[in-house]
Structure 1
C-alpha cells in the first residue's frame, strides 16, 4: 500500500471553491478552513489532508455548561434505538429536503422509524414500526462515516466543478396536496405553474456561478425564492381550504436548495470510464407513480372519501418500504416482486378504483388511474412507457431539476464521491435533557428539527456546529476529525435546539420554529419555551492507524469534500403524547429515566 501523502499540488493551488469558502469562513472567525477531497477507490478523489485532523489533546476545553438554577430541570431520559443494525441507510433527507429522493447525495444512518423516506407523511410515520426499545417511532438520522485507505489526487474534483452548473432544487407541492376541490382546481393549477416558473427564473440567476461555488449568490437566490414561494404556497393552501378542502400542511415544502449534483454525476462518469464497476444498487425503496397531482378537481361530496384513499395509498407505500427493511435477505430473487411489489400493485389498483368511483358519482370519472398502480424499486431503470397523467390532470410547467443521481451502489453503499467501507457505530446514545433555568414543556408530535449544516461551504457557516471529540474528552468539541488516544473512541456529539416557538412543528427554512438556548445562561430566546433538549452521541471504534493517517471521513455533499464542519443530524418526533409526557415529567423531577 502506498504511503499517504501529506502534501500535494492540490494543497498548494486550491480550486476556486475552496478559496471562496476559506474567505467566507475566515471572515466570520468561525474556524480555520481545511477541506477533505471527495471519495474514490483510487480513481475518483478521496484523499484526505492531514490538516483536517487534530489530536484531541491539542483541542482546548471549550464546552460551556451553564450552572443550573433552582428553577431549572436537570433530569435525563435516554432512549435505546440501536446502532442501525438492520441496515436502514438512505440518501434521502426527509427533514431538510422532503419529497426529494436522493436529495442528500450522501448516505445517512437511520435509527428509530422503519418506514421513513423523503415522501413519508405524519400518518405514515405514526403507523410505522421502530428500532427503539421503548416503542418510540421518532426518526433519528446522520451521515455515515467511512474508511478509505487509498491515496488519490484532487484533479477530478476540480475538473468536475469546472463542468458544473449549480441548480436550484425545490420540493414538489402538487404531489403533496390533499384532494383539491373542483372549484379551486384552476386556481391551484395556476399557482403551481407559477411555482415552477420561479424555479426556472432562479436557475437562470444561477448561471453566473457556473464552474464555481459562490455562497453570496446562493444566499441571494435562495432567500428571494423562499419569500416568493412562501407567498404562493400560502395562496395554494388558502385556495384549497376556502373551497372546502382539507387544510394542507405545506410549510415544509417552502425551502429550496442549491445542488451541485453535476459534480457527483461527472465523478461517477469518470469512475466508470476508469473501469470501476458499480454493483447492484443497495437499500432499495419503493417508488410509485404520484397520484395526488394526477387528479382532476374533486366534487365536494367526494372530498372526504378521496382524501381517505389518498392517505391509504401513502400508507401502503410506507408499509412496503418498511417490509424491504425488515425482510432484507429473505427469499430468492423473486421475493420482492412476489411478496412486496405484487401485493402492493393489487392493493393500489383497488384503492385507485375507489377514487375513480367516488369522483365519478358526482362528476366525470378520471380516466387512466389504473395505469398508476404498478410500482418499482428505485434501483430499477424506468420502465418503457411510464404512464402519462390521466386526461384530466393539470398541465402546469414542471420545475427544472438536475438529472437523477445513481443510487447507493454495492455492499458499501457507495455514491460518486462517497466511497469506502461504512463504519458501524459502536454505540448511539440518545438523550432528552433539561434546561438549566426553567422547566421543560412537552415537545409537539411531528416536530422537525436539525442541527449543524450539511453545506457550510455553499451556504456559509452560520448554522454549522463543531461536533467531533473522543470519549474521555467531552469537555471539548472540534471542527476537525479527532485523533484519539489508544482505547478512546471517536465521537460525534449532536446537540439539537432546546427551545420551541410554541406553535409550529416546522418552518419555511426548517430552523425558525426552534432555537438554541443561550450558551452562557441556558435561557431560551424571548417568545420561545424550553422543551426536552435532544442530544445524540455517536461513538466509533476506528483503528488508531486509520486515525493517524487521516483515512476516515464523513459522507458529504460534493462541494463539501468531506469537510468535518459539515456534520449534521436530523430528527422527527414521533413519540406518543404519553411517552413525551413521561420524558417531560422525568426531566422536570431531576430523575434519570429510560
Structure 2
C-alpha cells in the first residue's frame, strides 16, 4: 500500500499533515478488495457560528434576501474549506470573515426594514479551525449510552447529554485563528472530506440501549396507542435536488447536498403552499405532504459533476432505499390534535459536527438489532441485515405558526412522560424508518456540507404537512382511538 504525505503551511506557522492512502478505511472484509478510490486524511475542519439557528424574526419582505444570504454563507464556508484542504491553511479564515461580515450585514439590513434590527448577528462572522477529533461524535462513542423510553416518545434526545442550550458551538473547539489545528492531534484516515473509519461501529459490539424500537407506539396509562401509516414509495421515480425549500426558499442548491423526496412530486426550492397543494403525490392515500432527507451514497468513487453531488464534495452513487415507512403516532400523555396544513418541521442538524449536539437527532441501526440505536456512528451490519435510519420528529406545536424564523421555535419535543412545554400542544408524531442494502464494510455515508465531513451525527429530516384536512382528521381519529390505519 502506497502512502504519500504533504505538509500544509498554516497561518501562524503551524504544520498540518495531510496523508493520502489508497483504499484506506474502505476495504471489504470478505474479499480484501475495495472500491479503488483515493482517501485523504484530514486533521481539521472549519467551524462557523450558525446564523440561521439564531434568527428570531424574518419579515416577509426579507425572506428571500435572508434565504440567499444563508445559502451564500454555506457556499463561503464550502469554498474556504476546500482552499484550506488545497494548501492555503488557516490563512483562509481572514478572507472568510470578511465575506461573512458583508453577507450578514446585508441580511441584517433586509430584516431591519420591517422588524427589530438583529445586530447580534453581526458578531457571528468569525470562524475557527477545529480539529476533527473534537465536536459531536468525535473522540468518543456516545452511541453506547442508554436510550431511555422517553427518547422515542418524543423527548429531546439530547436533554441528558451533548451541548447545552445556548452554548457557543465553538467553545469546545477552542481554536484561535491561526492556531496550529494539530496541537491536539486527531488525524484520521478516510475518504477525502470524510467519513473516517472511526465513524463506523460493528453493531454486534453495541450494547442494547433502547427499550423499544423508534417506530413503536406509546403504551400504557393515558397514551394514545393508535398509528396512521402513509405509503409513499421509496423514491423510485428519482426525485432529487439539492434545494431546501424550508431553510432556503427561492434558492437553487440551497442545501449544498442532495435530498431524496417521497410524497409531493413537485417540491423544489421554489415551491409554495399553493404549488404544493396543486401537486400530484407518490402516496397511495392522497397525502400530498413533502418528506425529504439527505441521500445515502455508496462510496464507489462516482463523481457526478453537478450541484449537491461532486461539486459540493458529495461523491458516490446514490443508494435507493430498500423500504421507507412513514408512521404517525400518538402521545404518552393523551390525545393529539391535528397538525395545520403547511406546517414545516426539520429534525436533526445538518451542522451538528461543528454546532454541537443540541439539535442533533440522528438514529442509526441494523435490521434485527433495533434495540441498539446509534446517535453518532454508522452501523456495520452483518450479512443479510440492512442499515436503518430513523427520524422521530418533534411532536409539540405552539398552536400558532406553521414555521418560525429558525424553523425550530414553533415546534418542540415532549418530555419522557409526553408532556409538551407550556403553550405547546401535542400533535401526531411523524416517525420515518428508512432501510438500505449497502456493501459490506465502511462503504457508505450520508450527504453533508463539506466541512461536516459526512459525520453520521449530521443526519436530518425535513417535512411539510400537505395532507388534505380530511386525511389529517382521519389520522388523528385513528391515533386517538387506538386504531392502526393507512
TM-score normalised per structure 2: 0.62
Please give the residue correspondences for 1:451-490 in structure 2 after superposition, counting only pairs within 5 Å. Answer: 451-478=347-374, 479-490=376-387
Deviations 1:102-126 (A, max 9, x none): 0111100011111111121111110
Matched residue of 1:537: which SS? strand
Q: 1:46 to 1:500 in 2, by over 3 A?
A: same
CA radius of gyration, larger in: 1
Aligned length, in residue pairs: 329
Deviations 1:367-395 (A, max 9, x none): xxxxxxxxxxxxxxxxxxxxxxxxxxxxx
1:23 positional shift: 4.1
Q: Aligned equivalents of 1:277 and 1:82: distance in 2?
A: 27
Instruction: Please name the residue that 2:24 is paired with.
Output: 5
1:84 positional shift: 0.5
Instruction: Please name the residue that 2:231 is paired with.
Output: 80
Instruction: Please name the residue that 1:19 is paired with.
Output: 130
Instruction: Please name the residue that 1:62 is paired with.
Output: 209
In structure 1, which of residues 561, 570, 573 is the aligned counterpart of residue 465 of structure 2? 573
The CA RMSD measured in Å over matched residues stands at 3.2
Which of 553-562 and 452-461 deviates more? 452-461
Deviations 1:538-582 (A, max 9, x none): 1001122xxx2x121111111111111100000000001100000
Deviations 1:193-232 (A, max 9, x none): xxxxxxxxxxxxxxxxxxxxxxxxxxxxxxxxxxxxxxxx
8 Å Cα contact 1:36-1:563 kept in structure 2: no
In structure 1, which of residues 411, 425, 428 is the aligned counterpart of residue 324 of structure 2? 428
Q: 1:499 to 1:37 in 2, by over 3 A?
A: farther
Q: 1:35 to 1:126 in 2, by over 3 A?
A: farther
Instruction: Please name the residue that 2:162 is paired with.
Output: 30
Any gaps of 5 or more consecutive residues in structure 2? 2-20, 27-37, 48-128, 140-157, 164-171, 174-185
* Structure number with higher strand proportion: 2
Q: Aligned equivalents of 1:38 and 1:556: distance in 2?
A: 15
1:71 pairs with 2:222 = yes
Q: 1:437 to 1:10 in 2, by over 3 A?
A: same
Q: Aligned equivalents of 1:108 and 1:136: distance in 2?
A: 19
Q: Aligned equivalents of 2:39 and 2:439: distance in 1?
A: 28
* Structure number with higher helix proportion: 1
8 Å Cα contact 1:80-1:133 kept in structure 2: yes
Please give the residue correspondences for 1:172-571 in structure 2 after superposition, counting only pairs within 5 Å. Answer: 407=307, 414-478=310-374, 479-518=376-415, 520-544=416-440, 548=441, 550-571=442-463
Deviations 1:75-132 (A, max 9, x none): 1111110001111101001112222210111100011111111121111110000110
Matched residue of 2:451: which SS? helix
Matched residue of 1:415: which SS? helix
Q: Aligned equivalents of 2:321 and 2:187: distance in 1?
A: 24
Q: 1:149 to 1:10 in 2, by over 3 A?
A: closer
Instruction: Please name the residue that 1:593 is paired with.
Output: 485
8 Å Cα contact 1:36-1:46 kept in structure 2: no
Please give the residue correspondences for 1:47-126 in structure 2 after superposition, counting only pairs within 5 Å. Answer: 48-64=195-211, 68-126=219-277
Q: Aligned equivalents of 1:567 and 1:112: distance in 2?
A: 20
Q: Aligned equivalents of 1:37 and 1:126: distance in 2?
A: 47
8 Å Cα contact 1:38-1:417 kept in structure 2: no
Q: Aligned equivalents of 1:58 and 1:503: distance in 2?
A: 45
Q: Which has the higher contact order (CA 8 A, sep 6+)?
A: 1
Q: Aligned equivalents of 1:12 and 1:560: distance in 2?
A: 12
Q: Aligned equivalents of 2:455 and 2:271: distance in 1?
A: 29
8 Å Cα contact 1:68-1:437 kept in structure 2: no
TM-score normalised per structure 1: 0.51
1:477 positional shift: 1.7
